Each structure stands twice: as structure tokens, then as C-alpha cells.
Chains A and B, each alone.
Chain A
Amino acid sequence: GAGVSQSPSNKVTEKGKDVELRCDPISGHTALYWYRQSLGQGLEFLIYFQGNSAPDKSGLPSDRFSAERTGGSVSTLTIQRTQQEDSAVYLCASSSQGVQETQYFGPGTRLLVL
């Protein structure tokens, strides 16, 4: 079946602009995660959605970052007033329930802020 998809695959933007990154999880997966990987770093947790529960936003690095998940499926990560340090690969993952289940990752969106 279809895996996790993300769009765009690459995004180049100018400092100060807003960007939106999209994630389509595996159909039926109730849990959705956003991570980012900066150069030379491991994956850094950003936000977690589980069903209709309030999202766990504890990993968001600043209030410029926000995410929503509409209808329990597609998720959008928005970064406002982008900064050069936001440059990273943004990865989305989904799992059938929660962290106890295997997370399946999308290919990521490579964001470059000039």
C-alpha cells in the first residue's frame, strides 16, 4: 500500500517568508509525528498528533512553528518568518496507534532558507 508522502520534496525560501510543509500519513494511522534533522544532527521531535486528542507540541522550537491535522489525516507544518537556522530536512512519520507501534517515515522535505 501507499506509504507516507510529503510535499514538497525540496523548498528554497528567503529569510522572513512563511512556508507550509504537507504530510499525508498512511491511511488508517491515527498517530502522526513531525521531526526535523539539521545538518549533522539526529532527528529532533517537533510535534505529535494522536486521534482527536490535543497534540503534543513540546518539541516545537519556537512560536513561529505550528502544525495542524485536518480530519485526522493530512497534516501541515507551518513555519512563519523563516530563519536560516530553520534549514533542515523535515520528516513526517505515522503509526497505527502510538509510540509503541512502528513509525513509518516519509521521504522528508528539504528546506533551505537563504
Chain B
Amino acid sequence: DQQVKQNSPSLSVQEGRISILNCDYTNSMFDYFLWYKKYPAEGPTFLISISSIKDKNEDGRFTVFLNKSAKHLSLHIVPSQPGDSAVYFCAASALTGANNLFFGTGTRLTVIP
């Protein structure tokens, strides 16, 4: 049973525009959320995180929004750059009592120059 879902397998965006990647989760115990970015033949690299006490976290061009009532989070990249082209994974965890992250299936972002 997939507890973290990314329903869009792919997304194409023009360079300079905003990229919005979405993620839904089902487990109400999750209280810590992360986005990882993965290039081909490399392991995922941490991008940005948010805890459930916040609804927004920003780091440069990357902003993560959390809507706890909807069990939904999104990653905004603005402006998008060709180097952002990668697979983005959403992950979630319950910090108390959990030993692992639950990952979504990923969204492949292509930024068109």
C-alpha cells in the first residue's frame, strides 16, 4: 500500500517558468516531509524538508508547501532551469517511532531551454 503518492510521472516546463510538483500522503502520523532529487546513475540527493508545524519552507528557488488537512505537499521551483531536469521524489516520515522514510514513485521533471 503506497502511503506516499506522486500521481504525475512526468512534467515538462519551459525554462524560467515555475515548476510545481505534487505529492499526497495517506498516513496522518507523518510529520516530517522531504524532497529528494535524482539524476541518472546517481543516488537521490536531499533538496528541502518541512516539518508539520510549518506550512511553508523556502530555500532559494525551492519552496515546499504543506497542507496537512488535505495531506498534500508541493514543491515549487522558480525560475526553473535546465539543470533542474531530474526525477524528484517526495518522502515522509513519522519522527517518533519510525526508522525509515516512505517514498513516492517520483516525478520526472524536464526543463526545456
Contact = CB atoms under 8 A, between A and B. Distances in A.
Nearest to B43: A105
Interface string B18-58: 00000000000000101010000111111001000000000
Interface residues of A, number: 26
A56 B100 contact: yes
B70 interface: no
Nearest to B38: A105
Interface string B84-97: 00000101010100
Given A40-B105, A42-B2, A42-B103, A105 B95 contact: no
Interface stretch (A11-19, A75-83, A93-101): A93-101
B43 A106 contact: yes
Contacts of B4: 42
Nearest to B49: A102
A105 B44 contact: yes
Interface of A: 4, 33, 35, 40-45, 48, 50, 56, 58-59, 91, 93, 98-100, 102-108
